[in-house]
Amino acid sequence: MALLAGAVWLAWTLTAERMSAAMGLGPPDGVVVVEDCYEVSDSEGYNDGTNCKGSFTPAGGGADQARPIVVQDTSGKHRAGTRLPVRLAKGVAHEPSASPAIKYGIAAAMILVLGTVSAGWLLTTAWRGHAPEGSILLTSAGVGLMAVTVLGIAAGLLAGIVALFL
């Protein structure tokens, strides 16, 4: 049970605040006036979305409180001067967009799958009095991670299709 509780705590700590900011839950923390947008690549050179840099003004704040900031994983390239309502999570600005919400959701689900499979294997060991084969643990973890990946891809495709029509 401690392993399962640890997995839930880890998934919540690492992803909940970022996912809620990316989904646009709650009032905006401020507005970013876009200066420039650019494509971002991951460590292997694959496209990892679009970031925009600009000037962030906190909600209810004046122009004297503006500071430079980068909005990560925007919904696309925005023209200079566009005002984006953003939410902050762990010092990072997020525009409401499906792409980062799906990324953080997949990360949380993978953490939960690994914790649940491990906890289930240990619970089965305690219940039967002997440990099941290790291949069962590896197979269960592999199937769970593949299921999360497939569901994440399906959710991403669905979000992309919905975004085309909005």
Domains in the chain: boundaries: 1-21+100-164, 27-95
Question: Average pLDDT of 36-64?
Answer: 86
74-78: average pLDDT = 85
**Mean pLDDT over each residue of the chain, to the nearest integer:** 84
- Asked if pLDDT for residue 68 goes beyond 70, the answer is yes
Both tokens assigned to 109: 């689900």
Question: What confidence tens digit (pLDDT) does each residue in 134-160 have?
Answer: 787 788 888 888 888 888 878 777 776
Q: What is the pLDDT of residues 95-146, one digit of tens each?
A: 887 777 788 888 888 888 888 888 888 787 777 777 777 787 788 888 888 8
Q: pTM for the complete prediction?
A: 0.71
Cα–Cα distance between 53 and 72 in angstroms, integer? Answer: 9
